[in-house]
Copies of this chain bind each other. A is one copy, B any other.
């Protein structure tokens, strides 16, 4: 009969255990030539170079000079590997909140940090997330995000909700910008030319009677200019933080 582990409860997946360094090497058998970090690094290298779609088990194995099936000794499945890739891809949180700044400045910096990571590694957006965060780096980001709201009168549950709101916004905005860039590459259009082309296409498709508001937007030339996407990001983030500020004011009063 197999001995049950201490009080491990639902027994977290082996890939997660190794991410937390909870795996001691058994003293028998040959030295492993492959290690989980080496595999994850190779996979991240492939994703950085050729995108997430290029990350196949055989491609990662080739990157390591190993055979495809060798990887399965170390990661349980491709999904396991993806989870570990996300953890490594985000990297460590950029640091705790600065005590001399207020919550808004700190949370803004936190949001921009994730924004920058996602801009540098767009493939992170394409990994289907499997559940709530349980890997070390991910929780590090969450810890530092919570720290931004430390001085506020918000209850813990609302801090968490706000963090979810902000990180969701950052992910969503990054996804929009990224799929726009991919779309322009796929269509073979210059990145600056895409929005005007999109506007022209819309103008040709829509009936001004059926779509009056949309026609008005088009007429205002909203899509003609290619504004720096950072402005759009700042706009949305400021709206959300305005909303948070209103809540804090209400909870203070």
Which residues of A line the B interface, CB within 8 A?
7-10, 12, 20, 126, 128-132, 134, 139-140, 142-143, 146-147, 150, 155-162, 164-165, 168-169, 171-173, 176, 179-180, 182-183, 186-187, 189, 197-198, 200-202, 204-206, 210-214, 216-217, 220, 222, 232, 235-236, 238-247
Q: Could you tell me the distance in whole angstroms from the C-beta of A151 to the nearest C-beta in chain B?
A: 12
Q: Tell me the complex Cα distance, A187–B240, Å.
A: 34
- Verify B211–A143 contact, CB threshold 8 A: yes
Q: Could you tell me the distance in whole angstroms from the C-beta of A156 to the nearest C-beta in chain B?
A: 4
Q: Tell me the complex Cα distance, A159–B34, Å.
A: 53
- Verify A244–B236 contact, CB threshold 8 A: no
Residues of B within 8 A of A146 (CB): 213-214, 216-217
Residues of B within 8 A of A201 (CB): 9-10, 12, 134
Q: Could you tell me the distance in whole angstroms from the C-beta of A106 to the nearest C-beta in chain B?
A: 12
- Verify B176–A164 contact, CB threshold 8 A: yes
- Verify A236–B164 contact, CB threshold 8 A: yes
Q: Tell me the complex Cα distance, A150–B215, Å.
A: 13
Q: Tell me the complex Cα distance, A187–B10, Å.
A: 9
- Verify B131–A180 contact, CB threshold 8 A: yes
Can you identify 26 A-B contacts, CB atoms within 8 angstroms? Answer: A9-B197, A9-B201, A128-B179, A129-B179, A131-B180, A132-B198, A134-B198, A139-B211, A143-B212, A143-B214, A146-B214, A156-B217, A160-B222, A161-B235, A165-B169, A165-B239, A168-B168, A168-B169, A168-B173, A168-B236, A169-B172, A239-B246, A242-B242, A242-B243, A243-B243, A243-B244
Q: Tell me the complex Cα distance, A200–B214, Å.
A: 49
Residues of B within 8 A of A129 (CB): 179
Residues of B within 8 A of A213 (CB): 143, 146-147, 150
Residues of B within 8 A of A242 (CB): 242-243, 246-247
